[in-house]
Amino acid sequence: MRLRIQKLLAILLLFSGVLSATSRVVGPQEKIKTIAEALAISAPGDTVFIQPGTYQEETIYIDKPMVIIGRGYPVIDGMNKGYVLEVRSDSVTVKGLLLINVQKSYTKAYAAIHVYGSKYFVIEGNKLRNSFFGILVERSKDGIIHGNTVMGNAVTEQSSGNGIHAWHSDRLTISNNHVEGMRDGIYLEFVNNSKIIGNVSRNNIRYGLHFMFSNDDLYLKNRFENNGAGVAVMFSKRIDMRENEFMLNWGSASYGLLLKEILEGEIVGNTFNKNTIGISADGASKISFSHNNFDNNGWAIRFHGACYDNNIVNNNFRHNALDISYKGPMNGNIFDQNYWSEYAGYDLDKNNVGDVPYRPVKLFSYVVNKTPETIILLRSLFVDIINFSEKVSPIMTPDNLKDNRPLMKPVKINDRS
Amino acid sequence: MLKILKYSFMDLMRSRWSYVYFFFYLVLGFVLFFLNSDVTKAVITLMNVIIVLTPLIGTIFGVMYFYSSREFTELLLAQPLKRRTIFAGQYLGVSLSLSMSLVIGVGIPFVLYGIFGSTAIWDFSTLMLVGAFLTFIFVALSFNIALAFKDKIKGFGFSILMWLFMAVIYDGLFLLSMMIFDDYPLDKLALGATLFNPIDLSRILILLKLDISALLGYTGAVFKNFFGTGLGLFLSLSLLSVWVIVPAALMLRQARSKDF
Amino acid sequence: MIEVRKLYKNYGPVEVLKGIDIVFNPGEITAILGPNGSGKTTLIKSILGMVIPNGGEILLDDNNVLGQWLYRDRISYVPQIANFPGNLKVNELIKMIRDIRPGARNHGRLIDILKLQPFLDKKLGALSGGTRQKVNLVLAFMFDAPLIILDEPTAGLDPVALILLKQLIASEKEKGKTILITTHIMNLVEEIADKVVFLLDGLIYFHGRVSELKEKTGEDNLEKAIAAILKDSYA
């Protein structure tokens, strides 16, 4: 990733060098009072510095390669009239601005920063307040969105927009942003070969991070907390999900991670803590789940069906009310060498592998699937009894749905702190 | 009353069974820690045991004490004492000694393993509180049964049946009816049914404390709003108190008109 | 003085007392006799408040005592079967009763008379029936109550203890106390009782002096007199 940023910077430097850039300063005390004016007189590759102050300007168009840098977070007030910044050129850098008041609309996705058809853009260290959409990227490539904060106070899904929204784009890097109180924290549709790294997405009313029809993406070391639901990955292929934290996604339809119609991903080294459902998988196939921690969730993983050939190996399942919920036949899914805190078997040969298999699906889990309210009987003696009888002679659960080599000690997972 | 309480209490404290009960919890506590040094897990296992066992022990001890202390009771009845005094004293004596066996028996290993420094202290306290509540409730219920049946065997039989009903059958019927009527909105029914069984009520209280409340969110707002708030906690504890007071009052009422 | 008026009691469908009217006077020993199930114990327990009557009144010195409890301070009661909490020691039991009911005075003397010292540190469960009965007597006679009720007090007592018991009863009578006793030993009745109450099927068949009972039945032996009554009633 670092390599890519360096490459981009190198290209930018090259551009500015070739065009022998000049720089201008905009400010209330300067000769140039408005940003629009500064942009109008700038040549491609020039730099504009914006002094502290409030700039009330309707939609500012950036239609040539430019570097725009705010000093001390100048306030760009969109006055609720359409987009605030329109980036319509390659190689545009926007840094250090505070953008406020974007028009709300039910028909158009007005955003504080709208990037359209741009390559090699950099949106870095900006703050966005009271924006409808935050950063909207369409038909763009090789851009970086880094270290921005987007704060909203979304109430309903209809009247709110996404924090960072990308559509039909390629090779984006979205890193170290902080998104809070929007509809989706980060939304990606038809976005391929991109990296989402080290972001914090919390208190958003729908998803922390949302993939639609996007392939070959990586998201790494992000934190998703207290969103309507953590991350939704839908209709996508080869998504690499690593070392993220999914926390406190509570509610009747809430989960840490939703997998819907996805293929060939990897879910490695993530932490799922205190979610109603850790992972909800519906039509997810050929995915490798390993080295994840599932702690204190209602369900660790729910498989809804049409899930084929997944490997669930070397994970820790600790203190979940119900470990796994499962529908249908085995379909080539494999549970092997996980640590289950509920496991009550023994290890006579002391090889750290339990000598009797562990069945992670309880009969009660089927009952709850059918009638959710019965959850109130969790851990009652009656439920223990029916679970036990099911364990002795399985009727509802597939006979081979079991971990034949349950671990006696938790898997060591690299500490990210 | 305090005198009667004192003598009933001392009488039970001398009995072999109190020690058995006490040592059972002591051993259970140590074994739990020996098997897993994780306090949270120990609390969860302990919850399973307490929810089932304290009502059972309360029931059996209550009936046993009542029948075996019949002569003592008659001796007291011939003394210048109110009946209320005698029975309230005996009831409190039995309940207190059982609760103490529980709290001290489980408490010692937990204290030794450092419960005070742990965040599980509140879970542990809730557990002990609930265990004591269940003891008081089921001793009162069993006293009622013992008062109603002169025949020891019948009294024992009914008490065990009562326990079985509360601990297992009730939940079975509850589960079954929820599955049959799952086309209807059930959360209020489920909530109501929970309140009418002290064992269920206690279980839910502890579950919420143990942070498995995530699941309750799954069933919709009613549970979460009820159990997830301070009001819910307050109401649950009040209901448990009602579960102590009503059977105890019934027991005293029944004792007033009973022939010895 | 204790007065029973129109006392009724039934256990379910079984009528045990069918309107008992009787007065027991101070300074008199009254023996309550009757076959098994005639209502002797029920009458006594009604007076003690252990059985709740269905109707009637019980007056102790002209005060109704039904539903009361403080009046029991004026009764010494020796129950029929003396089973005590087995875990307690003898002196602990005595101490406990003294603690619950203040006013005991002569327990020390009674323990001496009944020769109970060797047993004071023994558990009640380990005592013989006779010794337990002695403890029972101590618990009742250590209080100076104007009404004494003895329900089969001789059970298990050896001859020496029996003599002691008679002496105890006699001395209490001299103090002007009202004494009720039930027993199956007719010799004892003839020896100490001033009056006899004969209960039959929940009613008073006879109430009067022993000599009157003999006269009425034409027998000169109390045992035979009783037998004659029973023969009549079952004939």
Using a CB–CB cutoff of 8 Å, tell me whether B191 touches chain A.
yes
Instruction: Output the pLDDT for position A416.
Output: 43
Decide the pairing of beta strands A245-247 and A223-225: parallel
Say if A and B touch: at least 3 Cβ pairs within 8 Å.
yes
- What residue has token string 């009422």? B253
DSSP track, A189-254: EEEES-EEES-EEES-SSEEEEEES-BS-EEES-EEESSSEEEEEES-BS-EEES-EEE---STT-
Instruction: Output the pLDDT for position B215.
Output: 58
- How far apart CA A285 and CA A262 sit, in angstroms, is 6
Low-confidence residues of chain B: pLDDT under 50: none
- How far apart CA B108 and CA B100 sit, in angstroms, is 12
A298 vs B212: CB contact, 8 Å cut-off?
yes
pLDDT tens-place string over residues A4-15: 777 766 666 555
Instruction: Name every chain B residue with its beta carbon within 8 A of the beta carbon of A385.
Output: 168
pLDDT band at A177 (very low <50, low <70, confident <90, very high): very high
Cβ-Cβ contacts under 8 Å for A79 (sequence gap 6 or more) = A56, A58, A101
Instruction: Name every chain A residue with its beta carbon within 8 A of the beta carbon of B212.
Output: 296, 298, 319, 321, 378-379
DSSP A172: -
Question: In this structure, which CATH number among 3.10.105.10, 3.40.50.300, 3.30.300.130, 1.10.3720.10 belongs to the domain C2-81+146-234?
Answer: 3.40.50.300
Residue ranges of B 51-110 with Cβ closer than 8 A to chain A: 51-52
Instruction: Output the pLDDT for position C225.
Output: 83
Nearest-by-Cβ selection for B171 from A252, A254, A380: A380
pLDDT above 50 (res A275): yes
Instruction: Name every chain B residue with its beta carbon within 8 A of the beta carbon of A372.
Output: 218-220
pLDDT above 50 (res A417): no
What's the token pair of residue B163? 């326990």
State which amino acid sits at residue C185: I
Q: What does the pLDDT average to over A152-161?
A: 78
Which chains touch B (3+ CB pairs under 8 A)? A, C
B179 vs A374: CB contact, 8 Å cut-off?
yes
B108 with B26: CB under 8 angstroms? yes
Q: Which chain C residue has its CA at the smallest distance from B4's CA?
A: C100
Structural domain count of chain B: 1
Helix (H, G, I), strand (E, B) or coil at A92: strand
pLDDT above 60 (res A18): no
Nearest-by-Cβ selection for C83 from B14, B71, B83: B71
How far does the CA of residue C49 sit from the closest CA of chain B (Å)? 8
B171 vs A275: CB contact, 8 Å cut-off?
no
Q: What does the pLDDT average to over C96-105?
A: 85
pLDDT above 70 (res A19): no
User: What ranges do the domains of chain C cover?
Assistant: 2-81+146-234
User: What ranges do the domains of chain A cover?
Assistant: 248-361+397-417
Residues found in chain C = 235
Range list of H helices, chain C? 40-48, 90-100, 107-113, 129-141, 159-174, 186-192, 210-217, 222-234
Nearest-by-Cβ selection for B260 from C11, C50, C85: C50
A315 with A288: CB under 8 angstroms? no
Query: For residue A43, which phi and psi values (nearest 5 degrees)?
Result: -95, 160
pLDDT above 90 (res C93): no
Report the mean per-residue pLDDT for chain C.
87
- How far apart CA C116 and CA A41 sit, in angstroms, is 122
Instruction: Output the pLDDT for position A190.
Output: 94
Closest CA to C213 of C234, C181, C186: C186
Q: What does the pLDDT average to over A203-219?
A: 91
- What residue has token string 């009903």? B165
Nearest-by-Cβ selection for A373 from B52, B168, B219: B219
| Gyration radius from chain B CA atoms | 19
- How far apart CA A256 and CA A301 sit, in angstroms, is 10
State which amino acid sits at residue C131: T
E strand or H helix at B146, and its extent?
Answer: helix B121-148
pLDDT tens-place string over residues A283-293: 999 999 999 99
Cβ-Cβ contacts under 8 Å for B222 (sequence gap 6 or more) = B187, B188, B191
Phi-psi region of A96 (alpha: psi -120 to 50; beta: other; left: phi over 0): left
pLDDT above 90 (res C201): no
pLDDT tens-place string over residues A374-396: 888 888 888 888 888 887 777 77
Q: Which residues of A21-44 are buried (b: 16+ CB within 10 A; e: fewer)?
A: beebebbeeeebeebeebbeebeb
Instruction: Output the pLDDT for position A3.
Output: 61
- How far apart CA A179 and CA A202 sit, in angstroms, is 6
Q: Which chain B residue has its CA at the smallest distance from A367's CA?
A: B179
Inter-chain CB pairs, A–B, below 8 Å: 105
Helix (H, G, I), strand (E, B) or coil at A79: coil
Q: Which chain A residue has its CA at the smallest distance from B186's CA?
A: A373
Using a CB–CB cutoff of 8 Å, tell me whether C51 touches chain B.
yes
End-to-end CA separation in angstroms for chain A: 20
B43 with B119: CB under 8 angstroms? no
State which amino acid sits at residue C87: N
Cβ-Cβ contacts under 8 Å for A397 (sequence gap 6 or more) = A326, A359, A361, A362, A363, A366, A390
B80 vs C71: CB contact, 8 Å cut-off?
yes
Cβ-Cβ contacts under 8 Å for C175 (sequence gap 6 or more) = none
Instruction: Output the pLDDT for position A236.
Output: 93
Which chains touch A (3+ CB pairs under 8 A)? B
Mutate to test the interface with B, among A373, A396, A409 (most CBs of B within 10 A): A373
State which amino acid sits at residue A79: M
C100 vs B83: CB contact, 8 Å cut-off?
no
Cβ-Cβ contacts under 8 Å for C152 (sequence gap 6 or more) = C80, C182, C183, C184
- How far apart CA B59 and CA B249 sit, in angstroms, is 17
- A286 to each of A259, A310, A377, A400, how far by Cα in Å? 12, 5, 35, 19
B79 vs C88: CB contact, 8 Å cut-off?
no
Instruction: Output the pLDDT for position C185.
Output: 86
Least confident piece of the model among B256-260, C71-75, C148-152: B256-260
Higher-confidence residue: B158 or A102?
A: B158
Higher-confidence residue: B53 or A1?
A: B53
Residue span of the structural domain in which B117 resides: 2-256
Cβ-Cβ contacts under 8 Å for A257 (sequence gap 6 or more) = A230, A231, A232, A233, A241, A246, A267, A270, A272, A278, A279, A280
> What number of CA atoms fall less than 13 Å from residue A288's CA on the CB side?
9
E strand or H helix at A345, and its extent?
Answer: none
DSSP B185: -
- How far apart CA C97 and CA C106 sit, in angstroms, is 13
Using a CB–CB cutoff of 8 Å, tell me whether C101 touches chain B.
yes
Residue ranges of C 57-96 with Cβ closer than 8 A to chain B: 69-73, 75, 77, 79, 81-85, 87-88, 96
- How far apart CA A200 and CA B141 sit, in angstroms, is 55
pLDDT above 90 (res A216): yes
Instruction: Name every chain C residue with its beta carbon within 8 A of the beta carbon of B76.
Output: 100
C72 vs B78: CB contact, 8 Å cut-off?
yes
C75 vs B82: CB contact, 8 Å cut-off?
no
Using a CB–CB cutoff of 8 Å, tell me whether A396 touches chain B.
no
A249 with A271: CB under 8 angstroms? no
Which chains touch C (3+ CB pairs under 8 A)? B
> What number of CA atoms fall less than 13 Å from residue C69's CA on the CB side?
13
B80 vs C69: CB contact, 8 Å cut-off?
yes
pLDDT above 90 (res A255): no
Q: Exposed, middle or buried: residue B37 (CB in 10 Å: 0-12, 13-18, 19+)?
A: exposed
pLDDT tens-place string over residues B215-242: 555 555 566 667 666 777 788 889 999 9
| Gyration radius from chain C CA atoms | 18
- What residue has token string 């003598």? B7
pLDDT band at A1 (very low <50, low <70, confident <90, very high): low
Instruction: Output the pLDDT for position B28.
Output: 87
DSSP A108: S
pLDDT above 90 (res A170): yes
Extended beta strands in A104-153, E state: 111-116, 122-124, 127-129, 133-138, 144-146, 149-151
Q: Which chain B residue has its CA at the smallest distance from C48's CA?
A: B78
Interface of B with C (CB under 8 A): 3-4, 7, 11, 14-15, 69, 71-72, 74-83, 257-260
Instruction: Name every chain A residue with its beta carbon within 8 A of the beta carbon of B45.
Output: none
Q: What does the pLDDT average to over A91-116?
A: 87
Instruction: Output the pLDDT for position B227.
Output: 67
| Gyration radius from chain A CA atoms | 25
Using a CB–CB cutoff of 8 Å, tell me whether B28 touches chain A.
no
Q: How far is CA B223 from the centre of its chain?
A: 23
B217 vs A382: CB contact, 8 Å cut-off?
no
Decide the pairing of beta strands C55-60 and C63-64: antiparallel
